[in-house]
Amino acid sequence: MSGFVFGEKPIQIAGGDGVHLHSESGAEFLDFGASYACAPAGHCHPDVVDAVQSQAADLLYVQGSYPTATRTALYDRLAALGPGDCSNVWLCNSGTEANEAALKFARHATGCEKVVAAKRAFHGRTLGALAATWKSEYREGFAVPEHVEFVDYGDPEALRAAVDDETAAVLLEPIQGEGGVHPAPEGYLQTAREVCDETGAALVLDEIQTGLGRTGSLWACERAGVEPDALTVAKGLGSGLPIAATLVADWLAEDAGNHGSTFSGGPVPCAAALATLDVIEDEDLAANAADVGGYLRDELAALPVRDVRGAGLMLGVEVKRGANRALRDLAMDHGVLALPAGRTVVRLLPPLTVDESHADEVVGALEAVL
């Protein structure tokens, strides 16, 4: 039985260019979902395509214990970009693997097992990351490991009460994505930093959706002025090729334990990641996300919706009827692709290359749908 994991949409995608996708039938779609933020530089950016093709012609793959120039360059680049002391790099293939690694490193370095995570959180679908994912339908029937305590997201006192000397890690998203696009309230991440300093736990920030310029700065934690002990990044890092990273501080790297992966830092995904980071920097896409995102948020707020929240080009629009129906009508009647974030939230995660004309197109389509 093919496709038994994913429910398939009635649009067969044949190609992509910039902020648009094209179907087999020739229809064009403005992509304001970017496959869950996987195309920050837009679809098939020529610099990324050239880097991938060039690397593929030289070397498709060699295991991570053999140094390659491309992998080493990505190690150095991510080490330089990591916030604070997060200059040690573990490469893997997906966000859930990056979170798994962060939790393993924290548990080994602290000698503790307990993890404190937030209600509404989503951190992945492998067992360790799934244990820190709140939604019961993701967890049911999978014998998920224990030792995770969930607290209300944004409640500093609940966080203080939960984190103790037996806590290995506090795992948080600076803006909850799957949970409805909820930004951390002012001061919340600072409280997380303080309680981790007091107890010796590692502060792990999941920037798998918020990172790489999406919220208006390279990392969302920079906007809060908080430096984590570990930061995870994935999705858009390789412009859609499978690559992710866990960036960790020295004290975690020095006692991280035994961890490995066959496909850690494959040369082709590393080439895609380097080119993607170049585009994000050279085209100043974080600033564009801040500018266009601010404009889009203001325009959306004028629509008959319950709420608009988020930062930069990570926005959630809470609608007055089911989000799935709105998403269907946006796609089929207006050629706009977006995402759900719960039953009533339309989530917008477009390529960071969109401009105000694209924002106007989305606002007009959403106004018609509502």
| Ranges of H-type helices in 245-346 | 250-253, 267-282, 285-301, 323-334
Among 235, 307, 320, 333, the one annotated catalytic: 235
Among 105, 114, 122, 229, the one annotated catalytic: 122
Has 235 been annotated as catalytic? yes
Closest CA to 193 of 168, 152, 228, 233: 228
Q: What are phi and psi of 227, to 5 degrees?
A: -105, 120
CA quadruple 26, 29, 31, 36: dihedral sign? negative
Has 17 been annotated as catalytic? no
Give the number of other CB atoms < 10 A from CB of residue 327. 21
CA 240 to chain centre: 12
Token pair in block for residue 145: 């490991």
Among 6, 206, 291, 320, the one annotated catalytic: 206
Show the CA angle centred on residue 86, arms to residues 82 and 90, nearest 5°.
90
Q: What are phi and psi of 23, to 5 degrees?
A: -90, 170
Has 119 been annotated as catalytic? no
Please give the positions annotated as active site. Answer: 122, 206, 235
